[in-house]
Structure 1
Amino acid sequence: MLARVHKLFSTTIISGLLVWVNSAPVAAESVAEFYKDGSIVIHMGFPGGGFLESAKLVGKHMQKHIPGNPKIVFQGRPGRLGTAVLDFLASPWALKDGTHLAMPGSLGPWMPLQTSVPVKYDPLQMNYIGNVNSAGDTFLFVRQDVNIRTLSDLVSKPLKVSNSRGAYRNFVAALNNILGTKITYVGDYPSHRDAFAAMLRGETGGIAGAGVTAGAEHRRYFPSLLKDLKVIPILRYTATTKSVEYPGAILAGMAGTTETQKQALEITFASQVLDRPLMGPPGIPAPRLKALQIAFMKAMQDPELIVEAQEKKLGIKDPMSGPNMKKYVETIYALPETAKAMTRKALADKSFLQPVRYTTFNAELFKVTKEGRSLNANLTFKDTKKTIIVRLDARTTSVSAYGNQIKPPPLKAGSLEPGMKCNVSWTGPKTTASALVCKK
């Protein structure tokens, strides 16, 4: 009997020890151990152009500074002006462990504040890794022969502007409804080059918005327009800091006459402060979040990145740390409700919008010339009188051949061949086709 009790007691002690050992806290996995041999996916709100180029450059150098050196890869998730990607981050499908990040459009942190569009994410709960550009070097431009230079001119004289990016519709809406300007917005054009072409043809008197540090989309010709004074930056979309290059430009954010107006403009132009934010979902473990934030700032100070950014004219300027981003977001969201209401009312106006006018022609496709390594191309058509060159954008040009809609990228499908008869929709010479309908 005593032996049985002793055996039972011993077994109980041993079992208890096993339970205690198995339930004892395991040494926490280090950041380097977690990321070693792994990868991080940055989901892109805009999957092409200078936006993707700058993101790839940051990712290339950032991965060197993350403990464990994970590989950074990119996945396009466009939609709703680049903000749909944040809905994904907030969804159950996105990992919250520091391996799923996003670079939304500049409206990402501000969509719930500026519009009534329902979103699934809360900007105040998101994690902020770093911001590529907080310089706010975006301006409203006019042609040199347009007699508008001051805010008084903008208020008293009508101006028609063209553009390709939806975010600038909001800026023009704010200028019209808060400051009383008389601007008509023609857009959205398929690309910056098309918007500039419309201006240079005299169809509009200016560009609603473009950066003086030209991005990939228009860097080939924009600097020469500035140098030759064919376009003049007259208004800067920011709240506080004058431009070093163009100190005479109006500071839009300071142009309000009341405190509420100034606050509403600050809300509107907040996207210029967080121009290319890198964000993460809620719930990233604190050590990994801190490691990502540190790696981002180290990458932005990396001499190799700085040289590459200058060579590619990517406009990487005045980066902001993740903690400072979060503080800025909290500051803007803390502004009075009267300013928020004024902003939403102003940005809801659509009366100043004018659609792009497309024309069509029929001609025979003579030659297809690819643009470097991209899937875009210049298409040469010939009719009885002249040669016509049209640009095909793999992302935006709708292509039908042999009666079938061709999914992007159309060139990869081999759907366009010399000798085809095509109906082309475009805005004018040397611009991007909005649609091609071709057949043999």
Structure 2
Amino acid sequence: MTIKKRNIISVLSACVLGFGVASTAPSVSAQENFYEGKTIKVVIRSTPGGGYDDYGRLVARHIGKHIPGNPDTVAVNMPAAGGLVSTNYMYNRAAQDGTEILIPSREFVFAQRAGVPGVRYDANKFNLLGSIESEGRVYLAGPDVPVANLADLEALGETFLFATSGVGAGDYLFMQLLEEGGYDVRGITGFTGSSEANLAVLRGDTHGTNRTFGSAVDVIENEGFKVFAKIGKIPPEYNDTDDLFDFLKGDVLQLAKVMAVPLSVGRPFITGPDVPADRVKILQDAFKAMVEDPELLADAKRAGRGISYTSPEEMRDLYDATLNASDKVMDLVGTN
């Protein structure tokens, strides 16, 4: 806004007040006091345990002190349908006053673009708060499954069964990516959290699973799960692990590149589409301050969780790339 425009607005405002007409817009102080005495609900798309829950509760513990009025916070788990239930809730039923925020599936935008059944939201209309981490994804085989790389997967002699949470969830979509690449794999749905999926693999009900590296460290180190492929950035000690970008070709490779976008926005936080803009700004500023807070960083380190901030503007650019992906590429996931 130019100085001249600001002066005009100031004069007009003075005239309005001079005629005794009260402004209907809430004052800055009123907005800052809105959260005093309130409770913010942090909705988590998964069951307790696992990466989404860890990051959701991390935010619930620390964001309140960075919001004017220092509201209380409570973490609420809302699993089912690979995160669709919680995302649909935030769009259609949650309070639109800035007192509810969500950590959705990182693939919630991709799920919409892919035409996944059950999506009842428009990702473009959510208000983005920021992402707290960027992660690569790993494909895991159980300790007794003879698969240590993609060549072993091809030679397995039977369909490799992945434990997944549901159609539209990241673990299912990344299973489909292997399937489109010509590998004999299939997803078994209905596992509402990492713990259930782990047990299915250890019992031999499925051969393996896939998830972000940070959420896989425990089963790799303590249960003997093997990383047989990767997509995105993971620690350098896994440089020799088969990278899907080196094995996929043509449209499937392009699909892999689109699917890798959510990994750059690995732990997104959003709020409802109709939350007033000034409250969205308060939440965005609080989120950014929170991820720089030494107390949060120490808390994350104790939990073995990394912190890497992505701004709402960067998130929007990445999501636009997904939403603008060609039909030819998206048709490969079989739901468009």
- Normalised by the length of structure 2, the TM-score is 0.79
For residues 380-421 of structure 1, what are the alpha-carbon distances to aligned partners after superposition, in whole Å with 9 as ceiling and x for unaligned?
Answer: xxxxxxxxxxxxxxxxxxxxxxxxxxxxxxxxxxxxxxxxxx
Match of 2:175 in 1: 172
Bigger relative contact order (CA 8 A; separation at least 6): 2
Match of 1:256 in 2: 248
Equivalent pairs, count: 315
Q: Equivalents in 2 of 1:269, 1:160: separation in Å?
A: 22
Contact kept in structure 2, 1:253 and 1:269, CA below 8 Å: no
Match of 2:13 in 1: none
**Alpha-carbon deviation of 1:123?**
0.4
Structure 2: tracts of 5 or more residues without a match: 1-15
For residues 185-208 of structure 1, what are the alpha-carbon distances to aligned partners after superposition, in whole Å with 9 as ceiling and x for unaligned?
Answer: 45545764564455456665x422
Match of 1:3 in 2: none
Match of 1:309 in 2: 300
Q: Equivalents in 1 of 2:260, 2:17: separation in Å?
A: 61
SS at structure 2 position matched to 1:64: helix
Contact kept in structure 2, 1:162 and 1:189, CA below 8 Å: no
SS at structure 1 position matched to 2:256: helix
Match of 1:247 in 2: 239
Contact kept in structure 2, 1:164 and 1:188, CA below 8 Å: yes
Match of 1:352 in 2: none
Residue 223 of structure 1 aligns to which amino acid in structure 2? E
Match of 1:79 in 2: 80
For residues 108-145 of structure 1, what are the alpha-carbon distances to aligned partners after superposition, in whole Å with 9 as ceiling and x for unaligned?
Answer: 22221123414331101111112232212x31123567
Contact kept in structure 1, 2:48 and 2:193, CA below 8 Å: no
Does residue 129 (structure 1) correspond to residue 126 (structure 2)? The answer is no
Q: Equivalents in 2 of 1:149, 1:160: separation in Å?
A: 13
Change (3 A) 1:194 1:60: closer
- Normalised by the length of structure 1, the TM-score is 0.62
Aligned with residue 328 of structure 1, among 310, 315, 318? 318
For residues 211-236 of structure 1, what are the alpha-carbon distances to aligned partners after superposition, in whole Å with 9 as ceiling and x for unaligned?
Answer: 44347xx94x64234xxxx4321211
Match of 1:223 in 2: 221
Change (3 A) 1:252 1:115: farther
Specify the structure having the higher radius of gyration (Cα): 1
Contact kept in structure 1, 2:49 and 2:193, CA below 8 Å: no
Residue 100 of structure 1 aligns to which amino acid in structure 2? E
**Alpha-carbon deviation of 1:322?**
2.0
Q: Equivalents in 1 of 2:193, 2:88: separation in Å?
A: 26
Q: Equivalents in 2 of 1:129, 1:85: separation in Å?
A: 17
**Alpha-carbon deviation of 1:262?**
2.1
Residue 272 of structure 1 aligns to which amino acid in structure 2? L
SS at structure 2 position matched to 1:213: helix
**Alpha-carbon deviation of 1:302?**
1.7
Match of 2:183 in 1: 181
For residues 267-307 of structure 1, what are the alpha-carbon distances to aligned partners after superposition, in whole Å with 9 as ceiling and x for unaligned?
Answer: 34444333332111223333322221221122122222222
Match of 2:57 in 1: 56
Match of 2:288 in 1: 297
Aligned with residue 234 of structure 1, among 212, 228, 238? 228
Residue 320 of structure 1 aligns to which amino acid in structure 2? T
Residue 100 of structure 2 aligns to which amino acid in structure 1? H
Give the aligned CA root-mean-square deviation in angstroms.
3.2
SS at structure 2 position matched to 1:256: coil
SS at structure 1 position matched to 2:249: coil
Contact kept in structure 2, 1:242 and 1:249, CA below 8 Å: no
Residue 303 of structure 2 aligns to which amino acid in structure 1? K
Q: Equivalents in 2 of 1:195, 1:294: separation in Å?
A: 36
Contact kept in structure 2, 1:130 and 1:293, CA below 8 Å: yes
Match of 1:287 in 2: 278
Match of 2:66 in 1: 65
Match of 2:38 in 1: 38
For residues 2-26 of structure 1, what are the alpha-carbon distances to aligned partners after superposition, in whole Å with 9 as ceiling and x for unaligned?
Answer: xxxxxxxxxxxxxxx9994134456
Change (3 A) 1:341 1:155: same
SS at structure 1 position matched to 2:300: helix
**Alpha-carbon deviation of 1:36?**
2.5
SS at structure 2 position matched to 1:22: coil
Q: Equivalents in 1 of 2:324, 2:243: separation in Å?
A: 23
Structure 1: tracts of 5 or more residues without a match: 1-16, 349-440
Q: Equivalents in 2 of 1:245, 1:171: separation in Å?
A: 22
SS at structure 2 position matched to 1:81: helix
Q: Equivalents in 1 of 2:265, 2:201: separation in Å?
A: 28
Contact kept in structure 2, 1:155 and 1:180, CA below 8 Å: no
Change (3 A) 1:121 1:201: closer
Q: Equivalents in 1 of 2:329, 2:203: separation in Å?
A: 39
Match of 1:408 in 2: none
SS at structure 2 position matched to 1:128: strand
**Alpha-carbon deviation of 1:181?**
0.8
Structure showing the higher helix proportion among its residues: 2
Match of 1:142 in 2: 141
**Alpha-carbon deviation of 1:156?**
4.9
Q: Equivalents in 2 of 1:295, 1:214: separation in Å?
A: 26
Change (3 A) 1:98 1:264: same
| Identity fraction in percent | 22
Change (3 A) 1:89 1:20: farther
Change (3 A) 1:101 1:143: closer
